[in-house]
Amino acid sequence: MPASDAIDSPVGVVAHATDPDFDATAADLAAVLDADRVGPNVAVSGVAPLDAATATDLAFSTYDDPEPIADSGAGVVVVPTDVSIPAGRAALRSPDPKRDFVRVLREYVGDGATPGVHPTAVVSDDAELGADCVVGPNAHVGPGVVLGDRVVVGAGCALGGPGFGFVRTRDDELLRQPHVGTVRVGDDAELGANCTVDRAPFGETVVERGAKLSARVHVAHGARIGADATVAFGAGVAGGSTVGARTTVHPHVAVATDVTVGDDAELGMGADVLDDVPSGARVVGSPARRVDGAER
């Protein structure tokens, strides 16, 4: 399906950097979060890290110690529920300060993604794009690719290319196996810049609903990334492997062919995962081993 038939907004509009400037008082922010407000009703117009914020900035703190809050120049700080708040500081109490900081940003400046296909992107006539997708500059969405609704495809991504599949002849030549399967990306998934997701030899290569891939992640032919999983920069998932739902994959992880990683697992930075990983397990190292106190 041509991209222009599948996306409601004009072709050529694409993700853009959000403007962090806004105007809100501490009371306004408390209303957005349904949070308890402490201190003066300070007005803020920007955001910054806790240690670099000025009097017109909103920041957040995850520390149980009140000293970093006292030392910060931030006008308003989103803080843990039980932390002591220095006298005279404007603060919003939150059970999860970083989450609520992000909620405020999304309320005031949006998520930075405007649906559409960038003019330099290539979308095959045989691809299918759901509603409100974003396809970034120089991305390639090939034949046999199906994107759900609100999928973000970052700059330079390549979806639907042939997988790395060859057979060796009797004359010791390599013959490429035709890949006639598909790539399916679920609703609300996001692929960072320069990700590659290969077409399956048959069946599907799948990135499930809500999964988030950072830049330069490779998902090989026939692999599956579970719903709401996060896969960090430079990780690779080999053919036929499965990464479970809500699993956290840290940077530069390699998951070997036909390995199954269960739901809610965590793969530490640089881990070489050569064997199956149970649900909920934490592994690190090469070869990867469990570090959560359980037997492998």
Indicate the helix (H) or strand (E) that contains 226.
none
Q: Residues 118, 140, 221, 250: which is the catalytic one?
A: 221
Alpha helices in the chain (DSSP H): 3-6, 26-33, 67-71, 97-109
Q: Beta strand pairing status for 24-25 and 43-44? A: antiparallel
10 phi-psi bin (left φ>0, alpha ψ -120 to 50, beta other): beta
Contact between residue 228 and residue 209 where contact means Cβ atoms under 8 Å apart: yes
Taking alpha carbons only, the member of 96, 72, 104, 98 closest to residue 85 is 72
- The C-alpha atoms of residue 218 and residue 117 are separated, in whole angstroms, by 22
Using CA atoms in the order 284, 288, 294, 296, what is the torsion angle rounded to 10 degrees?
A: 180
Contact between residue 60 and residue 97 where contact means Cβ atoms under 8 Å apart: yes
- The C-alpha atoms of residue 96 and residue 60 are separated, in whole angstroms, by 10
Using CA atoms in the order 48, 54, 55, 58, what is the torsion angle rounded to 10 degrees?
A: 10
- The C-alpha atoms of residue 296 and residue 289 are separated, in whole angstroms, by 7
Q: Quick one: angle between helices 97-109 and 26-33, nearest 10?
A: 110
Q: In the annotation, is 218 catalytic?
A: no
Q: Which long-range contacts (CB under 8 A, 24 or more apart) does 224-230 make?
A: 226/263, 227/186
Active site members: 221
